[in-house]
Every structure is written in C-alpha cells, then in structure tokens.
C-alpha cells in the first residue's frame, strides 16, 4: 500500500529514530575533526565537576620546626542545561495524490519517499545547528539561531576571557618574526591554562580576510608557498589551511542566511588532541517512552491524523556542547 505511512502503527518511535540517526551525515568541519567527545545522558542537565589542584613551592625549615601545612584543592559542581532543538512538518494525503515524483516522468509520489526527504532536510538543519553551537563553544559563547547568547562559558566557569591578540597583519613595516612571536604567545598561554594536560596541537578557524592577510604577509609568504606546493602530498579534508609556527590556520567556510560563522577579520584558536576539553552530550528525547533513558543524537516520530488525512512528523535533538577549559580559547584579529 503506497500510503501505509498514514497507518497509525506504520512507523514507531524506535524505527524512525533509528532511521534519522542512520541518514547520510552532512559534512561539517568540526564534526569531521572529531574534536568533541560525544555521549548520552539520561537527564536534561549535565553536571560538570571540577577539582582544583594546588601547586606550591615548599619552603625549607630547620629540622624540628613545624611542617608546612598541605593545602587541598576545592571541588565545585556546576550544572548546564541541554538545548532543545525541535522540528515539525506535516505531510498531507491531498498533496501527494496525483503528484509526480521529482526527476521522473510518470512515477507517482509516495508518502515514504516524502517522509525520507523531510527527515533528511530536518536532520541537515539540526546538524548545521549543532555545528553552530560547537563553533560557539570554541569561541567561549554558545549562541542561538538569531545570534542571542545561550551560554557564556567564561561566566559559567567564573574565569576571565583572555585578551584578544592583535596580529597586526597590515603593518607597513612589520618587525622580523612578529607573526611567529604572536603564535608563540598563543601556544604558551594554552600550555599554561592546560597545566598537566598535554597540548596535542593548536588549531584556529579564521575569516577570509585574516587568512589572506596572513599568507600574504612578508614573514609568511614564502612559507605558505612551500606549504601550498606540498598540498598534493597531504590528504585535504578542510578548505584552505596553513601550518606556521606550531599552529594550523584554517579558513572556515560557514554561513546560514545572513549569519557568518567566523568573522572576516577574526581568528579563533583552540587546543586539539587534548582529552576532556571539548564535549557534546545528548539528553533524552521529549517523548514518554524516552524519559530518563540515555540520550541519542536525534529522535523522530510520526503522529497520524485519526481520519488518515495527514501525518505530522516530529524530529528533535537535545545537545549541549561546551569547553571545560574556556581560557584556552584565544581570539585574534587581523589588525
């Protein structure tokens, strides 16, 4: 039966959720980097516990004098709420009747085909939104679709935001090694903030104006040409990249409508290959049969009209992306 999707038991929550989670992934740069550790939680809030280590120099004392007391670090428990990303669409029997399937001359549309297309579209929108939120976590501030602030990670962890670094890429007479010095300052600042955690590397997402000015700078121009000549020897998963002075600079391409993901003149530096710094957790779906279950990245459900004239398709994701060491997130500007 072509329209069996309109039968009440045609698609259960479990089968639809499995289907939307198994749809082909829409490539997004941060996801492809596998930067964020993912996992499910069984509540709508994530508990983040921190234990402060105390490191101090022990003064010498005469033998028999009182010992220096040991100071233990404090423990703090903070809580962040996951973000709810619900979507809905309606498929009407009347609009399917006599409709020709896209790309064919005589084949009629089916409810199953339309359902798959709608779920793919909703999955794509949620993927882009999660990418937007993860990019916000890399900047220290997670933003909503309209640009309003959802989470200020610096405020949440009660730390100050590092001072933005001016790379001064349009200087008329730049000092020798000026760019390298700025890169070294970024790396040292991250190492200081990570403490005992290893710094696997430093990556940055930069705007097009920043990238162009960087690779055309007198100090870096020749190095970029050498890097570019070896491009065929490297597997490329990104757009334009350039490794210089211990940092990978990547021109980030991302825009939805009027929202540009990375400002033209900005650079956002963050640590890579350092465990426990970036996390994404998924809360349970907003359905009776998923209450207090371990969350999945996506959920979907079909709710049919009792008369069989239409079905409503609900899809959602309940993610929370955050950085546990926000002071490692350093911002730079072109000039």
- Per-residue pLDDT tens over the stretch 191-234: 999 998 999 999 999 999 999 999 999 999 999 988 887 664 45
Contact call for residues 179 and 186 (beta carbons, < 8 A)? no
User: What are 185-192's contacts with CB under 8 Å, separation 24+?
Assistant: 186/247, 186/269, 186/330, 186/332, 187/246, 187/247, 189/162, 189/328, 189/330, 190/269, 190/271, 190/328, 190/330
CA angle 40, 46, 47 (to 5 degrees): 125
For the chain, the 3-state helix, strand and coil shares in percent, each to the nearest 5, are 30, 25, 45
- Per-residue pLDDT tens over the stretch 304-329: 998 989 999 999 999 999 999 999 99
d(CA 13, CA 123): 16
CA angle 241, 245, 248 (to 5 degrees): 25
**CA-CA distances (angstroms) from residue 149 to 137, 142, 155, 328?**
11, 6, 12, 20
Contact call for residues 184 and 192 (beta carbons, < 8 A)? no
Contact call for residues 194 and 328 (beta carbons, < 8 A)? yes
- Per-residue pLDDT tens over the stretch 279-304: 999 999 999 999 999 999 999 999 99
d(CA 190, CA 270): 8
Domains detected in the chain: 4-49+77-333 (3.90.1690)
Q: What percentage of the chain exceeds 90 in pLDDT?
A: 64
Using CB atoms within 10 A of its CB, is residue 265 exposed (0-12), middle (13-18) or buried (19+)? middle
Closest CA to 271 of 10, 2, 31, 36: 36
The yes-or-no verdict on residue 164 having pLDDT over 90 is yes
67 Cβ contact partners less than 8 Å away, ≥ 6 residues apart? 61
Contact call for residues 283 and 272 (beta carbons, < 8 A)? no
Closest CA to 254 of 26, 87, 84, 83: 26
The yes-or-no verdict on residue 6 having pLDDT over 60 is no
Give me the mean pLDDT over the 125-135 stretch: 94
**CA-CA distances (angstroms) from residue 322 to 55, 84, 134, 264?**
27, 15, 7, 24
Question: What phi and psi values does residue 267 have, to the nearest 5 degrees?
Answer: -135, 140
Question: What phi and psi values does residue 143 have, to the nearest 5 degrees?
Answer: -110, 155
- Per-residue pLDDT tens over the stretch 172-191: 899 999 999 999 999 999 99
DSSP state of 99: P
Considering the entire predicted model, what is its pTM? 0.86
Location of structure tokens 């705007």: 207
- Strands (E) across 153-286 are located at 165-166, 201-206, 241-244, 247-251, 255-256, 259-260, 266-272, 278-282
pLDDT band at 72 (very low <50, low <70, confident <90, very high): low
């Amino acid at each position: 039966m072509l329209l069996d999707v309109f039968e009440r038991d045609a698609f259960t929550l479990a089968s639809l959720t499995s289907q939307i989670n198994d749809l082909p992934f829409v490539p997004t740069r941060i996801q492809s980097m596998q930067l964020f550790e993912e996992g499910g939680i069984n509540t709508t809030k994530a508990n983040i516990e921190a234990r402060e280590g105390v490191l101090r120099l022990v003064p010498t004392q005469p033998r028999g004098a009182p010992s220096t007391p040991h100071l233990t670090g404090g423990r703090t428990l903070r809580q962040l709420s996951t973000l709810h990303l619900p979507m809905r669409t309606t498929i009407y029997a009347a609009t399917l009747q006599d409709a020709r399937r896209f790309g064919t001359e005589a084949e009629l549309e089916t409810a199953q085909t339309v359902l798959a297309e709608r779920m793919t579209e909703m999955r794509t929108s949620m993927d882009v939104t999660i990418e937007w939120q993860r990019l916000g976590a890399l900047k220290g501030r997670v933003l909503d679709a309209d640009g309003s602030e959802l989470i200020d990670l610096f405020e949440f962890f009660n730390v100050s935001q590092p001072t933005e670094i001016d790379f001064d890429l349009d200087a008329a007479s730049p000092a020798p090694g000026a760019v390298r010095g700025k890169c070294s300052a970024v790396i040292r600042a991250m190492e200081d903030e990570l403490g005992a955690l290893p710094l696997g590397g430093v990556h940055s997402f930069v705007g097009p104006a920043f990238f162009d000015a960087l690779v055309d700078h007198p100090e870096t121009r020749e190095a970029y040409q050498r890097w570019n000549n070896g491009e065929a020897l490297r597997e490329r998963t990104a757009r334009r990249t350039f490794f210089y002075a211990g940092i990978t600079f990547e021109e980030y391409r991302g825009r939805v409508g009027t929202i540009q993901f990375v400002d033209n003149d900005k650079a956002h530096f963050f640590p890579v290959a350092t465990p426990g710094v970036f996390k994404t957790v998924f809360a349970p779906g907003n359905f009776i049969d998923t209450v207090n279950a371990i969350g999945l990245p996506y959920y979907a459900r079909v709710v049919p009209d009792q008369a069989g004239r239409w079905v409503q398709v609900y899809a959602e994701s309940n993610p929370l992306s955050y950085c546990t060491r926000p002071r490692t997130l350093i911002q730079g500007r072109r000039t």
